[in-house]
Amino acid sequence: MRFRRPLDEEPEVNLIPLIDVLLVVLIFLAVSTTYSRYSELKIELPIADATQPQVRPNEINVAVTPDGRYALDRKLLGTTDVQEFASALQRAAQGKDNPLLVINADAQAPHQAVISVMEAARLAGIVRISFATQKTSGAPR
Protein backbone atom coordinates (compact mmCIF):
# COMPACT_ATOMS: atom_id res chain seq x y z
CA MET A 1 0.00 0.00 0.00
CA ARG A 2 1.13 3.38 -0.94
CA PHE A 3 -0.34 6.21 1.06
CA ARG A 4 1.91 9.00 -0.10
CA ARG A 5 1.52 10.62 -3.39
CA PRO A 6 4.67 11.45 -5.20
CA LEU A 7 5.52 15.15 -5.29
CA ASP A 8 6.25 16.04 -8.84
CA GLU A 9 6.19 19.79 -8.27
CA GLU A 10 8.92 21.80 -6.65
CA PRO A 11 7.65 24.07 -3.85
CA GLU A 12 7.99 27.75 -4.72
CA VAL A 13 7.97 30.90 -2.65
CA ASN A 14 5.44 33.45 -3.77
CA LEU A 15 7.06 36.90 -3.47
CA ILE A 16 4.18 38.98 -4.80
CA PRO A 17 2.36 39.39 -1.42
CA LEU A 18 5.66 40.29 0.26
CA ILE A 19 6.36 42.99 -2.32
CA ASP A 20 2.81 44.35 -1.92
CA VAL A 21 3.21 44.64 1.85
CA LEU A 22 6.60 46.35 1.51
CA LEU A 23 5.21 48.86 -0.97
CA VAL A 24 2.33 49.71 1.37
CA VAL A 25 4.78 50.22 4.26
CA LEU A 26 7.00 52.40 2.04
CA ILE A 27 4.03 54.53 0.95
CA PHE A 28 2.89 54.88 4.57
CA LEU A 29 6.36 56.05 5.67
CA ALA A 30 6.62 58.51 2.78
CA VAL A 31 3.21 60.03 3.54
CA SER A 32 3.64 60.23 7.33
CA THR A 33 7.14 61.75 7.27
CA THR A 34 7.29 65.46 7.96
CA TYR A 35 9.73 67.45 5.92
CA SER A 36 11.06 70.62 7.40
CA ARG A 37 13.49 73.03 5.90
CA TYR A 38 16.09 74.53 8.17
CA SER A 39 17.26 77.94 7.19
CA GLU A 40 20.95 78.64 7.36
CA LEU A 41 22.25 81.30 9.66
CA LYS A 42 25.12 83.45 8.54
CA ILE A 43 27.34 83.86 11.56
CA GLU A 44 30.86 85.04 12.07
CA LEU A 45 32.83 83.14 14.67
CA PRO A 46 35.02 85.04 17.10
CA ILE A 47 38.74 85.22 16.45
CA ALA A 48 41.21 84.34 19.20
CA ASP A 49 44.67 85.80 19.53
CA ALA A 50 46.94 83.75 21.73
CA THR A 51 49.37 86.58 22.37
CA GLN A 52 46.89 88.70 24.31
CA PRO A 53 46.38 87.66 27.94
CA GLN A 54 42.82 86.98 28.92
CA VAL A 55 41.40 89.36 31.51
CA ARG A 56 39.25 87.56 34.03
CA PRO A 57 38.07 90.07 36.61
CA ASN A 58 35.87 87.63 38.54
CA GLU A 59 38.59 85.05 39.08
CA ILE A 60 40.26 84.35 42.42
CA ASN A 61 43.40 82.21 42.20
CA VAL A 62 44.41 80.00 45.10
CA ALA A 63 47.62 78.00 45.06
CA VAL A 64 48.29 75.07 47.37
CA THR A 65 51.99 74.34 47.99
CA PRO A 66 53.41 70.83 48.44
CA ASP A 67 53.59 71.39 52.22
CA GLY A 68 49.91 72.46 52.43
CA ARG A 69 50.25 76.25 52.64
CA TYR A 70 48.00 78.61 50.68
CA ALA A 71 48.68 81.53 48.37
CA LEU A 72 45.79 83.82 47.51
CA ASP A 73 46.29 85.76 44.26
CA ARG A 74 50.07 85.11 44.41
CA LYS A 75 50.40 86.25 48.04
CA LEU A 76 51.45 83.56 50.49
CA LEU A 77 49.21 83.43 53.55
CA GLY A 78 50.66 82.77 56.97
CA THR A 79 47.76 80.60 58.15
CA THR A 80 46.30 77.22 57.27
CA ASP A 81 43.18 77.74 59.41
CA VAL A 82 39.98 77.27 57.40
CA GLN A 83 38.09 80.10 59.15
CA GLU A 84 40.86 82.64 58.58
CA PHE A 85 41.28 81.52 54.99
CA ALA A 86 37.50 81.86 54.45
CA SER A 87 37.61 85.46 55.69
CA ALA A 88 40.54 86.15 53.32
CA LEU A 89 38.48 84.68 50.48
CA GLN A 90 35.53 86.90 51.43
CA ARG A 91 37.78 89.98 51.30
CA ALA A 92 39.12 88.90 47.89
CA ALA A 93 35.58 88.31 46.57
CA GLN A 94 34.23 91.71 47.63
CA GLY A 95 33.05 93.73 44.66
CA LYS A 96 33.15 90.73 42.30
CA ASP A 97 29.94 89.48 40.76
CA ASN A 98 29.69 85.68 41.07
CA PRO A 99 33.45 85.03 41.50
CA LEU A 100 35.19 81.92 40.21
CA LEU A 101 37.69 80.25 42.53
CA VAL A 102 40.54 78.57 40.62
CA ILE A 103 42.52 76.08 42.70
CA ASN A 104 46.10 75.50 41.57
CA ALA A 105 47.20 72.59 43.74
CA ASP A 106 50.64 71.04 43.52
CA ALA A 107 50.67 67.35 42.59
CA GLN A 108 52.30 66.57 45.95
CA ALA A 109 49.93 68.76 47.98
CA PRO A 110 47.99 66.95 50.71
CA HIS A 111 44.43 66.06 49.85
CA GLN A 112 43.23 67.65 53.08
CA ALA A 113 44.68 71.02 52.05
CA VAL A 114 42.61 71.03 48.84
CA ILE A 115 39.48 69.98 50.74
CA SER A 116 40.14 72.80 53.23
CA VAL A 117 40.24 75.30 50.34
CA MET A 118 36.88 74.00 49.13
CA GLU A 119 35.47 74.23 52.67
CA ALA A 120 36.74 77.81 53.03
CA ALA A 121 35.10 78.68 49.69
CA ARG A 122 31.82 77.28 50.98
CA LEU A 123 32.11 79.34 54.16
CA ALA A 124 32.94 82.45 52.10
CA GLY A 125 29.88 81.92 49.88
CA ILE A 126 31.82 81.15 46.70
CA VAL A 127 29.96 78.48 44.75
CA ARG A 128 31.90 78.43 41.47
CA ILE A 129 35.10 76.36 41.86
CA SER A 130 37.49 75.17 39.18
CA PHE A 131 40.73 73.22 39.26
CA ALA A 132 43.71 74.25 37.14
CA THR A 133 45.66 71.52 35.36
CA GLN A 134 48.47 71.40 32.87
CA LYS A 135 49.28 69.08 30.00
CA THR A 136 51.75 66.33 30.58
CA SER A 137 54.83 66.52 28.41
CA GLY A 138 54.63 62.87 27.43
CA ALA A 139 52.81 60.72 24.94
CA PRO A 140 49.20 61.64 24.29
CA ARG A 141 46.68 59.49 26.09
Q: Report the alpha-carbon distance of residue 99 to residue 6 in Å, rounded.
A: 92
Residue 4 pLDDT > 80: no
Q: Identify the pLDDT of residue 19.
A: 93
Residues 4-8, mean pLDDT to the nearest whole number: 68
Q: Return the top range by mean pLDDT from 4-8, 77-81, 136-140.
A: 77-81
- Give the model confidence (pLDDT) of 40-65 as tens digits: 656 556 665 555 556 677 888 899 88
In degrees and rounded to multiples of 5, residue 61 shows phi and psi of -100, 130
Q: Look at residue 96 in the predicted model and tell me its pLDDT.
A: 86
Burial of 103 (0-12, 13-18, 19+ CB in 10 A): buried
d(CA 70, CA 76): 6
Our measurement of the distance from residue 136's CA atom to the centroid of its chain's CA atoms, rounded to an integer in Å, reads 20
Strands 100-105 and 128-131 come out as parallel
Considering only residues 42 and 17, tell me which one the structure prediction assigns the higher pLDDT: 17
The pLDDT assigned to 37 comes to 66
Mean pLDDT, all residues of the chain: 81
Per-residue model confidence as pLDDT tens digits over 66-109: 888 898 888 888 887 889 999 999 988 888 888 999 998 888 88
User: Of the spans 34-38, 51-55, 119-123, 134-138, which averages the highest pLDDT?
Assistant: 119-123
